[in-house]
Structure 1
Amino acid sequence: MSSVKQGHQGAHSWLVDAEVIPDLAPQHFDIRFWQSANLITGHSTGRGTTYFVHHNHTPLVLRHYRRGGLIGKLLSDQYLFTGLSRCRSFQEFHLLNWMHAQGLPVPRPVAAHVHRSGPIYRADLILQQINKANDLHHILCASPLEASQWQNVGKTIARMHQAQIYHHDLNIHNLMQDEEGKIWLIDFDRCYKRHGTDWQPQNLARLKRSLEKESARTSPYYYQPDDFTCLLQGYHQQLNGNPHDKAAN
């Protein structure tokens, strides 16, 4: 997109969609800036804390990159710097920017940040918040999805696969549904374009495992094996039909 600009200030480097934040500075990646301006509207917790903020009446999501697993206990939010183009925030921004331009149902990227300190860096990402949406895990904790909704989930995943997008962590928490029933995919850290199709069944299997895991440990949880059958029906309908099938939106 022509509105994407790159900036540098001391140890800070960033990419920004200047249409959304024309005056971006490193302070925009510091949650204390938003707190002092009383612009935080909420937060969610996972590997780290994700904050929901407002900028010029635009709802945004601010996410700081954190490591998971055992290494996360040692390094927390530190990554080895091997060049800006290889930094996780810059890679995710560029991938999301391309997908958004293709009309795929992903959040619009607003800004990516890298803060270097010697051989390591820390990173942040700002996204435009998906309007009135909730992740499917929380929805399934409260009520079941209809067969047509599961089919739309499958169609959305198929559209990603048709675009050769590999989602590294395809689980039920990273799928969202807005109030109009549109399915969205989020969290594209470590995701990339991947050739071939051999990896796609494993991608779907990962999602199925996450559903089975949540179903086993959460009660109530409105998921049945037949639901995944409906998902696969929508997935194959999309693959065998028009790649730009509006029903997937």
Structure 2
Amino acid sequence: MAIKQQKIATGHFTLVNTHFFDSVDKQMFLSEYWQQKHAITGQAKGRGTTFFIQPDAAQQWVLRHYRRGGLPGKLFSDQFLYTGLSRTRPFMELNLLYTMREAGLLVPEPIAAQVVRHGLIYRADLLSVRIPDAQDMHHVLSRGPVGEAVWQAVGRQIRQMHDLNVYHHDLNIRNIMLDAQPQVWIIDFDRCYQRADGHWKPQNLARLYRSLVKESGRSPAFFWTEQDWAALKAGYHQD
């Protein structure tokens, strides 16, 4: 299994996980292609629309078109400044996910990415495997509490990520998933990267803590306590 880069046409490049394909058809990055095959099973709204795809009976995928947030998103929507292929957001995310999967972390498995460049700007897409039978922990905690063992598992997953020196740009409770087993997964590695060890690790944890405090303040039906945070930290610091 390896990562393979291909040039489709002038300014059009793909990056493929050869566990799935040796090469990838550009049609696979179009939602219309999957709609014609009646393979779209759902979608999620965020900065753009993320499509959930079932290409066959055994697989579920996620198709995401990269979009900007905030004021830049209102002006440029899905356009990004091109500063080199290796620095494009989907290529960085796919390579990082592949590295983490190889290290045994529970993160989405990447399938393929594409970059379409026009002069100084590019647009991009990413295909990845959908985590089966999983919900984000914000949704889970809005329905009821989870036990100490789950919080410790959250801490251990973050520690494994940090031990690989992966900085998560947006570590919040909505980017942590819980599957049916239950196992803890971390998602959304856009703009994330490996960096030298430093103070960013406790700052990463502090960002997650702030997200929990924020969600707890928004709704009395959000089942989180300081004791849960203590369990998460115990898991994080467990040798």
- TM-score interval for Structure 1 and Structure 2 normalised by the shorter chain: over 0.9
Q: Tell me how far apart the structure 1 counterparts of residues 32 and 117 of structure 2 sit (CA, whole Å).
A: 19
Measure the CA separation in 2 of the matches of 1:18 and 1:216. 45
User: Given residue 192 of structure 1, which amino acid in structure 2 is its aligned partner?
Assistant: Y
TM-score, structure 1 as length reference: 0.91
Unpaired runs of 5+ in structure 2?
none
Task: Give the Cα separation in 1 of the matches to 2:90 and 2:176.
Answer: 20
- Aligned CA-pair RMSD: 1.3
Partner of 1:28: 28
Structure 1 residue 219 displacement after superposition: 4.4
Q: Is the 8 A contact 1:150 1:227 kept in 2?
A: yes
Letter of the aligned partner of 1:162 in structure 2? D
Matched residue SS, 1:52: strand
* 4+ long deviations beyond 4 Å: none
Q: What residue ranges of structure 1 are gaps of 5+ in the alignment?
A: 242-249
Corresponding residue for 1:155?
Answer: 156
- CA distance in structure 1 between the aligned counterparts of 2:210 and 2:21, rounded to whole angstroms: 39
Whole-angstrom distance in 2 between the partners of 1:152 and 1:236: 11
Equivalent residue number for residue 190 of structure 1:
191
Give the partner amino acid of 1:93: L
How many residue pairs are counted as aligned between the two chains? 237
Check conservation: 1:151, 1:233, Cα contact below 8 A: yes
Q: Please name the residue that 1:54 is paired with.
A: 54
Q: Which moved more, 1:76-85 or 1:54-63?
A: 54-63
Secondary structure of 1:142's aligned partner: coil
Structure 1 stretch 28-37 or stretch 209-218: which is displaced more?
A: 209-218
- Amino acid aligned to 2:8: Q
Is the 1:29–1:124 contact (alpha carbons within 8 Å) kept by the matching residues of 2?
A: yes
- 1:40 and 1:21, CA in 2 relative to 1: closer, same or farther beyond 3 A? farther
Which residue of the partner structure matches residue 134 of structure 2? 133
**Distance change (3 Å), C-alpha of 1:190 and 1:117:** same
Determine the C-alpha separation between the residues in 1 that align with 2:128 and 2:22: 15
Counterpart position of 2:42? 42
| Mean CA deviation greater in 226-235 or 212-221 | 212-221
Per-residue deviation at 1:22?
4.4
Q: For residue 189 of structure 1, report the CA deviation from its aligned partner.
A: 0.8
Whole-angstrom distance in 1 between the partners of 2:157 and 2:5: 31
Deviation of 1:21 (Å): 3.6
**Please, what TM-score do these two structures have when normalized by structure 2?**
0.95
Offset at residue 48 of structure 1 (A): 1.6
Partners of 1:62 and 1:126 within 8 A in 2 = yes
Aligned-residue identity in percent:
49
Report what 1:244 is aligned to: none
Render the CA deviation track for 1:161-200: whole Å, top value 9, x for unaligned: 1111111110001100110011001111111111123111
The aligned counterpart of 2:103 is 102
